[in-house]
Amino acid sequence: MSKDEYDEFDSTWSIQLDAIIQSRDMSSIVKQLASELKGNSYKTVGSFFNRISDGDLDVLLNKLDSNDHEEILLITELLARAEGAGSGSIEQVARNFNVMTVMIAGESLARKGFVEAYHDNMSFGEECKDKPIFKKLEQDE
């Protein structure tokens, strides 16, 4: 992508929820999220992580490990838009994606008992950017 193409990134692309729901190529995690958003367009990132199973979380971790980022990017954008913090630029898409990868890894650590997750602070919005989303737990010595 050239500098001019990068500067002219069109972030107004639309996401077709019906197409996601009917897709044979999308995982059940993405389909379920799209279905939920079709019924209620508002959803927080924290509520998404509260809802997903350990198996779904493992699927997302495996996608990160294998550099299969398409669905994670789609989940990120769906959740950002559901919060009203949709991506306005390529920089925002990248920022949101990076935040999402941290939240996926942190949620995994929380479920293993290594950190505490603050689901209420999980967001792509500016109002939460300085709030902690994970806290290291003190280990018994």
pLDDT tens digit string along 85-105? 776 788 888 999 999 999 999
The most distant pair of C-alpha atoms in the chain lies apart, rounded to whole Å, by 56
* The total number of structural domains that make up the chain: 1
The answer to whether position 2 is within a domain reads no
Nearest to 77 by CA among 60, 98, 93: 93
In a domain, 1, yes or no: no
Question: Is 6 inside a domain boundary?
Answer: no
- % of the chain surpassing 90 pLDDT: 62
Average pLDDT over residues 6-11: 48
In a domain? residue 4: no
Give the domain range for residue 93.
Answer: 12-136
Instruction: Kindly state whether residue 5 falls inside one of the protein's structural domains.
Output: no
Confidence of residue 12 (pLDDT cuts 50, 70, 90): low
Share of the chain above pLDDT 70, in %: 89
Q: Which of 116, 97, 120 minimizes the C-alpha distance to 107? A: 116
> Does residue 31 sit within a domain?
yes
Which residues are CB-neighbours of 106 under 8 A, at least 6 positions away?
A: 115, 117, 133, 134
Report CA Rg, the chain: 16
pLDDT of residue 90: 85
Asked whether residue 34 is assigned to any structural domain, the reply reads: yes
User: Looking at the predicted structure, is the pLDDT value of residue 52 above 60?
Assistant: yes
More confident residue, 106 or 2: 106
Q: Is 103 helix (H, G, I), strand (E, B) or coil?
A: helix
Within a domain: residue 61? yes
pLDDT at 4: 46
pLDDT at 125: 81
